[in-house]
Amino acid sequence: MIVKELDQVVVRFSGDSGDGMQLAGNLFSTISATVGNDISTFPDYPADIRAPQGSLTGVSGFQVHIGAGKVFTPGDQCDVLVAMNAAALKTQYKFAKSTACIIIDTDCFQKSDLEKAAFKTDNPIEEMGIKNDVIAAPISQMVKDCLADSGMDNKSMLKCRNMFALGLVCWLFNRDLTIAENFLREKFAKKPAIAEANIKVIHAGYDYGHNTHSSVAHTYRIESKTTVPGKYMDITGNKATAYGFIAAAEKAGLKLYLGSYPITPATDVLHELSKHKSLGVVTVQCEDEIAGCASAVGASYAGALAVTSTSGPGICLKSEAMNLAVIMELPLVVLDVQRGGPATGLPTKSEQTDLLQVLFGRNGESPMPVLAATSPTDCFEAAFEASKIALEHMTPVVLLTDAFVANGSAAWKLPKLADYPTINPPYVPAELKGSWTPYQRNEDGVRYWAIPGQEGFTHILGGLEKDNATGAISTNPENHHLMTQLRQQKIDKIQVPDVVVEGDKDDAELLIVGFGGTYGHLHAAMDEMRAEGKKVALAHFKFINPLPANTAEVMKKYPKVVVAEQNMGQFAGYLRMKVDGFVPYQYNEVKGQPFVVNELVTAFTEILNK
């Protein structure tokens, strides 16, 4: 048996939504990350609670890209495809490379399974014209045999099938099973019998591969080349976002308050923050999206770091209370985990289609800072930065992530809070007692924060326009114009870092421009083009409003610019509004799926050759 050294490999686990593919995939990435590989994951699951078993619409997938060095995306296509039933093979084969190894459970390729998956013959491999190596194993039967003495019923035994597949994949990649064992014992701490059954099955899968050499020519080893020493963990974007808020609250010395309403794919942030009562985090699951945001505005007035989280149509419902925070000039972070739209749209899929809404989708002149996280681990940084801006500039801030970065995971070097900047909200100075008015501003144009409970600073805020000098209700035309300008200037004055140009920054013939969660794919496309000898650079934006000071300079520096985004051109249009005479090429795709690096390379090369 040959052990082949690889730089990187992509594995896709797929099966029925009830087959536990997300768990198997997660576990494999954790094992890989633990041995020091870089990882990037992409859970691809259906929106249905439970589509009919074995049906084409019920297939759930989890793709993980592991690399010896840095990996930027979960990969376009996989090297190993696990298909736990006929429907999975049918729908997921398109994600497999021509050289991919395919693992199937032959017990789920019986006549009825093939019918449900709309196969016409009884030989799906031939019918689909599959020429790949196929490990066809009677997984279900072997799992049942393996657990025959466990006293478990048939259904419970079959729930362990995913672990057999995982064991087989672990064998293929020479993975140590100890990590999986520890994980399972912890996950099923209250049900030790289940933990031991899963562990038994994972070993059975591994041994099956080892004993039969599973009709493949070689197994693989992926060494670790991660250079930065330190402690690491595997983290999803949503968890990193939650951690960012916790870190910011601690740094600012404030209580963290989350007002939210469950909505896919943002709900995991609510789940995560709800766990951490021992950090004093307050989470309120409200009656609706409106109340989620409104209650956060109330919490902000009361003196907390207030956050509300949502996705999809939820952001429409929050816009009213977000605007209240604009006029009351209160700190608030609005997390929008973008998903496919419009309306309910594609709840579990990823897009970047909320950009213009969060920038402009409110009545009146309503300037609001907007940040977009660029990767699962960047969600931590972005959540911290969004909180810092909100608190220091007394403004609601929108943090955009998307289903792709929120559900995806990556290896994350544990941060040290001491390395992060302090957060200094503009608390009202005690010496202003008696003379203070609510819209008195500091040198950054930011009004002071007078938290209730302090004598001498009682005041009433509200949704009606206020007189800048007295804080009383005012419909004076000159005052309204002034207040509009002051609210705008306050946002314009926020300092954000310059946008960084990567790649051939001096002599690129094509500048790729993107924002938010597409960073990995755009970077990978640039790398590939540069490897072909082309002169390409990438300017990827995280700070959308205000834009970095060097934006216009960068946009005008290169002969050709392409703005690539998962919408119909929202960021390109916004840049055109902000940069005089800027006319970029556009690459727009709204499929609910991540970009495909190869397709990007083809499209960008065409632009280059024009």
Partner 1 sequence: MCEFTAKDYKKGQPRWCPGCGDHFFLASLHKAMAEIGVAPWDIAVISGIGCSSRLPHYMNTYGMNTIHGRSAAIATGCKVANPNLTVWQVSGDGDGLAIGGNHFIHANRRNINLNMILLNNRIYGLTKGQYSPTSPRGFVSKSSPYGTVEDPFCPAELCFGARGHFFARAVATDAAGTVEILKEAYKHKGASVCEILQNCVIFNHGTHESVYTKEGRAKNAIYLEHGKPMLFGENKEFGLVQEGFGLKVVKLGENGITEKDILIHDAHCEDNTLQLKLALMQGPDFPIALGVIRDVDAPTYDDGVYAQIEEVSEKKKYHNFEELLMTNDTWEVK
Q: Rounded CA gap, 101 and 322, in Å?
A: 50
Q: Rounded CA gap, 164 and 149, in Å?
A: 17
How far apart are the two ends of the chain, measured CA to CA in Å?
Answer: 49
CB of residue 525 vs partner 1: minimum separation in angstroms? 28
Q: Rounded CA gap, 524 and 535, in Å?
A: 14
Q: Which two tokens stand for residue 73?
A: 């995306």
* Interface characters, 300-319, with partner 1 (x: CB under 8 A): xxxxx-x-------------
Select from 207, 320, 444, 465 the one that contacts partner 1 (CB under 8 A).
Answer: 320
CB of residue 229 vs partner 1: minimum separation in angstroms? 5
Select from 2, 228, 343, 531 the one that contacts partner 1 (CB under 8 A).
Answer: 228
- Give the footprint of partner 1 on residues 325-384 (CB under 8 A): 328
Q: Rounded CA gap, 380 and 414, in Å?
A: 11
CB of residue 221 vs partner 1: minimum separation in angstroms? 18
- Read off the amino acid at residue 50: R
Residue number with CB closer to partner 1 (281 or 522): 281
The packing angle between helices 161-172 and 192-212, to 10°, is 40
243 in contact with partner 1 (CB under 8 A): yes
Stretch that binds partner 1, among 10-18, 298-306, 486-494, 498-506 (CB under 8 A): 298-306
Residue number with CB closer to partner 1 (224 or 605): 224
CB of residue 457 vs partner 1: minimum separation in angstroms? 7
Question: How many residues interact with partner 1 (rule CB under 8 A)?
Answer: 74
Stretch that binds partner 1, among 62-70, 294-302, 349-357, 394-402 (CB under 8 A): 294-302
- Give the footprint of partner 1 on residues 402-461 (CB under 8 A): 414-417, 451-461
Select from 288, 365, 498, 532 the one that contacts partner 1 (CB under 8 A).
Answer: 288
* Interface characters, 148-187, with partner 1 (x: CB under 8 A): -------------------------------x--xx----
Stretch that binds partner 1, among 12-20, 250-258, 501-509, 510-518 (CB under 8 A): 250-258
State the burial class of residue 521 (Cβ atoms within 10 Å of its Cβ: 0-12, 13-18, 19+).
Answer: buried
The long-range contacts involving 105-110, CB below 8 angstroms and separated by at least 24 positions, are 105/137, 105/138, 105/139, 105/140, 105/161, 105/165, 106/136, 106/137, 106/138, 106/139, 107/138, 107/139, 107/140, 107/141, 108/54, 108/84, 108/139, 108/140, 109/85
Q: For 99-144, give the DSSP string.
A: EEEEEEEGGG-SHHHHHHTT-SSS-HHHHTT--SEEEEE-HHHHHH
Select from 51, 84, 291, 317 the one that contacts partner 1 (CB under 8 A).
Answer: 291
Stretch that binds partner 1, among 18-26, 95-103, 130-138, 277-285 (CB under 8 A): 277-285
User: Is the CB of residue 580 less than 8 Å from the CB of residue 481?
Assistant: no
CA distances from 159 to 165, 186, 197, 208 (A): 12, 18, 10, 18
CB of residue 119 vs partner 1: minimum separation in angstroms? 41
- Give the footprint of partner 1 on residues 15-54 (CB under 8 A): 30, 33-36
CB of residue 466 vs partner 1: minimum separation in angstroms? 10
